[in-house]
A and B are shown apart, each in its own frame.
Chain A
Amino acid sequence: MNSGEKAAMREYFKSLPVYSEFFDEAIDAIIASMDSGISAEKGRVLVELGAMNKDFWFLKNGFLKEMYRSPYAKEDSLFNMIPPSSIFVNEDTLFTNQRPKHYFSAYTSVEILRLREADYLILQQEYPVEMNLIYLSGTAEIQKIRRERLNMLRMNKTPDRIEWVQQRQRELYHIMDRITLAQYIGVSRASLYRAFEKKKKYQF
């Protein structure tokens, strides 16, 4: 892992609410255990996260689409957009030992780092308290973001949802095309276009 990758990982851990210097040794050990970067070109599905993969993945650069199969749509649907400096996992496999219902594809070209499950288990033995707290804090952050987004999806006016993305997810707002933005905020393309027309303000 190069120094830029190490710095990106360290920044991520420092951004967790639970972070204090107490975690530094464990964080260094995590960083030392991580694989070097994996690159994927725009559009590629990350097959590395296969059916039984329980590794922890860190998106260093680029944006990922988290996709799922909706019973109400003919094509696979967007569940979420993953911005840089995020951890992502096969949730179903990791939490409930089931086949993953979601998969990830590169929305832009991406660079990813990996902490293998086997290495995670070794680290857990060496730093049980720190690893538990980091794990809990990391998953709690994902949960908080999910709750916030759900609040946005409950807004019954499209312009309010657009404004939420503009304000809370600026980075995503600037990178998403209109089709992806419509999917991200759970409205039809027509509704998104009407909202832009009405306000005479456009995405870009």
Chain B
Amino acid sequence: MLSQKEVERLHYGLLSHIKLQGDLEFQALSELSSKFTLRTVPSGHTLWDLSSSNGDLNFILEGTFAEYLQRGSHSFILRFHRPNKFAFSEDLLLYSKRSDTYSKALSHAKVASLPSVHFQNALRQGGLGAKLVEALINLSMTEYRNTTYEMLQTSGTNRIHAALEQFPDLLHLIPRSELADYLGISRASLFRSLKEIGHE
């Protein structure tokens, strides 16, 4: 169960992403906030995995998650989910298909989770549900856009600078081998670049 403080954080978190109109939508948002449940995820545990069948909508209260994309036998980090942001499998939640990604806690985490049944109900009712989906798609688009900026840098050093601008604690969150994959550069190039910017 969420504490009053957590419910308020969640409510304001939702409010900051959705443009509401009229008292009815405000009331609907309060009702929706009350359907979230508290979930603690120890470091290294998954929020959802490749075999998950239900897409819950998660709002991160504490901790950081990395969302991994499985490609063949290898998986690499697609994006990070941080406090006060939503974390969800796009495949499960938006497209009702098997998830190509899984999300793992990089530190001990607390999330407010909305079971997919409540999410789908809100969506069926239109109004707030449609606005919520619109907000989630827009958030994903913006995240992918920001990450694309990083990846379009041709030098490893600039990629690290761009990534650190978005996630200042990135170097402490994941091991160097994963960081090299995340940045799409070789480990040798990563170490050279880190040395260049005085981080090694």
Q: Could you tell me which A residues sit within 8 Å of B by CB distance?
A: 68, 70, 72, 77-80, 91, 95, 128-129, 132, 135-136, 139-140, 142-143, 146-147, 149-151, 153-156, 182-183, 186-188, 191
Contacts A91-B141, A143-B90, A146-B141; A70 near B181 (Cβ below 8 A): no
- Whether A95 contacts B142 by the Cβ 8 Å rule is yes
Total CB contacts across the A-B interface at under 8 A: 89
Measured CB to CB, the closest approach of chain A to B122, in angstroms, equals: 13
**A142 to B, closest residue via Cβ:** B141
Complex Cα gap A187–B184 (Å):
11
The stretch of B23-31, B44-52, B108-116, B147-155 in contact with A is B147-155
Majority secondary structure, A binding face: helix
Q: Give every chain B residue within 8 A of A79 (Cβ-Cβ).
A: 145, 148-149, 152
Complex Cα gap A147–B95 (Å):
14
A-B pairs with beta carbons under 8 Å apart, 26 shown:
A70-B149, A72-B161, A78-B152, A91-B141, A132-B126, A132-B130, A135-B134, A136-B130, A136-B133, A139-B134, A139-B138, A140-B94, A140-B137, A143-B137, A147-B78, A153-B148, A153-B152, A154-B78, A156-B180, A156-B184, A186-B151, A186-B152, A186-B153, A186-B154, A186-B184, A187-B154
Q: Give every chain B residue within 8 A of A187 (Cβ-Cβ).
A: 154
Complex Cα gap A77–B145 (Å):
14
- Whether B154 contacts A146 by the Cβ 8 Å rule is no
| Smallest CB-CB A-B distances: 10 pairs | A153-B151, A146-B144, A72-B158, A188-B154, A186-B152, A154-B184, A95-B138, A132-B130, A143-B141, A139-B137
**B134 to A, closest residue via Cβ:** A136
Complex Cα gap A188–B40 (Å):
44
- Whether A154 contacts B151 by the Cβ 8 Å rule is yes
